Amino acid sequence: MSAVESPCVKICKLDEAKSLCIGCYRTVEEIGEWRWATESRQKEILENAADRRPD
């Protein structure tokens, strides 16, 4: 099991394009991949999500 905690904040709602969660800023693909992703991939997903988060 990975030591990386899921970024899910229990606000699971997709944007208008149905491609990005407005709660955690992960793409639909990243959300689906999370459970089986390696720890390094999970960290990459977190970085990508942080880059998408509005200031």
Q: In this predicted structure, what is the pLDDT of residue 51?
A: 96
Q: In this predicted structure, what is the pLDDT of residue 2?
A: 64
Could you state, in chain order, the average pLDDT of each consecutive group of 10 residues for the chain (55 residues)? 86 94 96 96 97 90
Q: In this predicted structure, what is the pLDDT of residue 55?
A: 78
Domain that holds residue 6: 1-55
pTM of the model: 0.88
CB under 8 A, 24+ apart: contacts of 3-11:
3/39, 4/39, 4/42, 4/43, 4/46, 6/34, 7/45, 7/46, 7/49
Q: In this predicted structure, what is the pLDDT of residue 1?
A: 56
Domain count, the chain: 1
